[in-house]
Structure 1
Amino acid sequence: MKSLLITAALLVAPLAATPALAQTPHEVSLAPIRVILVGDSTMTNKSGYGGELCKDFTAQVTCINAARGGRSSKSYRVEGLWDQIMTQLADKKAPDGKTFAKTYVLIQFGHNDGSPKPERHTNIETEFPVNMRNYARDVEKAGATPVLITPITQRKFIDGQLQPDLVPWANATRTVAKTEHVTLLDLNAESMKAVQAMGLTEANTLAGQPIPQNVLDTEDSGTSVPAIFTDASQGQGKTQGFDYTHMGPKGQPYFARMVADLWIKADPSIAAYVKPDAR
């Protein structure tokens, strides 16, 4: 009888342990969280990585892309867009009626802050850092968590070298994140490293528009050139800039994954909220 009981126990024990061993982090119930994206066109659904980033999150994440094209750290607030974010932060209820365990606001500006247009332009020393600091502080006062993102690189090359056009704004964002003790995603540094490594030809494929023939013909030079459109719908023979900033079907998910990876590295707790195939 004793031997039979021992045998039965040995048979039952592995069966009882199996379900626990088979569980993955994504099978465990996660508290609902909210992610709000605030920035310019490089973060929008249409021409940036924001829409794809939202797709990379699990069902427990309510992702709101509030980025707007053409906005700077000044105009986003002046136009009242930031007021809308603050109103959203006051409502902590998830769509299912539960309360968000946490809300994160990812903030990225810089591309339009150097614009000559007065409604966008900010002084890199006296205005831009103050604006970024105020965004972070406002979010914290509202009981949410700010995450500052350095501006994604443009993809312009000269003699094979990627141009560091946005480094001043990236440096200012880094300083604010450090002094305010908030999470920083250094997308500028990471995207510059990646785009430089892939080179001009591959970088051009990340754009959101067809590559004009004259751009294709000069890719071996290692220098980015303005586009010459021959299609009548584009203005036949008209020279204008090829879009070395925004992203298309290939670039959007590529940079979205980069942002997700940077966030997980900066805050490992976010990993459970990112789909495994997006890592």
Structure 2
Amino acid sequence: MFRISVWLILTFGIILTGKAQQEYSKSWKFDFGEGKVAKGYQQVKPNMNYSSSRGYGFLDGEPVKALDRGGDELKGDFITSEQPFFFTVDVPEGNYDVKVVLGDTQESSSVTIRVENRRLVLGRTDTEPGEQVEKVFSVHVRYPEIKGTDEKVRLKSRELEYLHWDHQLTIEFNGEKPKVAAIEITPNTQAPTVFLAGNSTVVDQANEPWAAWGQMFPVFFEHGEVVIANHAESGETLKSFRGAKRLENILSLMKPGDYLFIEFAHNDQKPGGNHVDPFTTYQEVIREYIAAVKAKKGIPVLVTSMHRRRFDEKGKIINTLDDYPAAMRELAKEDDITLIDLNAMSKELYEAWGVEESKKAFVHFRAGTFEGQDKDFADNTHFSTYGAYQLASCVVLGLSQTDLKLKDYLKKDIPVFDPASPPPFEDFYWPLSSKTSIIKPDGD
């Protein structure tokens, strides 16, 4: 099976949590390959699939192979594959810095790294023949069990197989020639955590071709300095997010100086028990979130929701979100809360693309593009990986224009981004994950 049993997760989760929390100060060191093993490292051979008794290993899927070039014990041998492969480790809930040794002493390599549910942490990294590099990225690992309580997050059935609720840290190695010599995982207890609360436009989408800005967000930050914790989930509203104890889970982990980015509107505007009105109940519930964050000495940040892809006959975006963005702007001004106006930037971005080019930023794919897809995809709410990355760039731009200390942790070499002149689709690189789905995410 691709994942360990959901029954095991649900049955033994609390036991694993108790044991794991005692080990949070532990580091894990893995030497990949079949050559000599570096001192202090666990050897990982190609046939080592994950088992609960071992506590680490490869997930079932494409086979991996080992190559041994000799020489240095740690760097002389490595694991590689012609397809994406996944390595997973049982770890306690918390934040981690992960150091990887990439490259080959004889040939070139190219790797892109994502974690958990396709969360981008290392963009395309190429090495020349004979070149090996060390890269570090930071990861948040979350449990459904809520720290300090007997409660759990109320997960949807589709979430039970997600890679970010399973008491493990899972790393996806992708790219044309991924070559991995070593991994070292170390707890990071000092860096501020940026929690994300939102819906399907923010969540770490588990499967191709769907994506959202939250899963692209980590790659913009200096790793080790800040950790992105995306707790958003498809279909959620302000009320349902709180009702499922997702907010409670975040607050149980929050420490002074951490952040909570809040972006809701798409589902909140719909009729039903979770509906809120823009200038009354919508603002009231947001203020309740803000008060809860401040009680933990955290920092709330409001993000207006991006537009849906709907153009008028003149190529201008039609507002389908009614007064919700305006209500969030008003609240931010009245209560002096930092605001990132993604709604305004998305209008500029979509209109810069235009009616046809903007389809590349959303899940618009002809039937047969993905396995089992017998109908065209024409989703004007959910993003392709290209679109999600551009929306994340908008959020980063908005952050850079605030007074938050968080902006100091942005990478210094980020290309200048202008929503009115976005980079072309053809320049975007994203090797497909092996996990795909033809089922549309919850929400619209």
8 Å Cα contact 1:104-1:146 kept in structure 2: yes
Which residue matches 2:382? Answer: 246
Residues 1:43 and 2:202 aligned together: yes
Q: How many Å separate the matches in 2 of 1:34 and 1:232?
A: 37
Q: How many Å separate the matches in 1 of 2:365 and 2:395?
A: 25
Change (3 A) 1:241 1:73: farther
8 Å Cα contact 2:268-2:276 kept in structure 1: yes
Which residue matches 1:192? Answer: 347
8 Å Cα contact 2:216-2:389 kept in structure 1: yes
Cα displacement (A) at 1:71: 0.5
Higher relative contact order (CA 8 A, sep 6+): 1
- Give the unaligned 5+ runs of structure 1: 1-30, 93-99, 213-228
TM-score, normalization: structure 1? 0.72
Which residue matches 1:140? Answer: 294
TM-score, normalization: structure 2? 0.46
Cα displacement (A) at 1:209: 4.2
Residue in structure 2 matching 1:58, options 211, 214, 222 = 222
Cα displacement (A) at 1:230: 11
- Give the unaligned 5+ runs of structure 2: 1-189, 206-210, 416-444
Moved >4 Å (runs of 4+): 229-236
Cα displacement (A) at 1:137: 1.6
8 Å Cα contact 1:167-1:188 kept in structure 2: no
Matches within 5 A, 1:1-279: 32-46=191-205, 47-59=211-223, 60-89=225-254, 92=255, 102-116=257-271, 118-159=272-313, 160-211=315-366, 233-234=372-373, 242-267=378-403, 269-279=405-415
1:124-180 per-residue CA deviation (whole Å, 9 max, x = no partner) reads 333111111111121111100000000011111121221111241101111111121
- Higher-Rg member (1/2): 1
1:199-227 per-residue CA deviation (whole Å, 9 max, x = no partner) reads 11111110134157xxxxxxxxxxxxxxx
8 Å Cα contact 1:75-1:119 kept in structure 2: no
Q: How many Å separate the matches in 1 of 2:350 and 2:332?
A: 24
1:1-20 per-residue CA deviation (whole Å, 9 max, x = no partner) reads xxxxxxxxxxxxxxxxxxxx
Q: How many Å separate the matches in 1 of 2:304 and 2:201?
A: 12
1:69-115 per-residue CA deviation (whole Å, 9 max, x = no partner) reads 100111111221111111111xx3xxxxxxx7x21111000010112
8 Å Cα contact 2:196-2:260 kept in structure 1: yes
Q: Quote the sequence identity (%).
A: 28
Q: How many Å separate the matches in 2 of 1:135 and 1:231?
A: 39
The aligned amino acid for 2:396 is A
Cα RMSD (Å): 2.4
8 Å Cα contact 2:191-2:226 kept in structure 1: yes
Write 1 or 2 for the structure with the bigger share of helix.
1
8 Å Cα contact 2:363-2:377 kept in structure 1: no
Cα displacement (A) at 1:37: 0.6
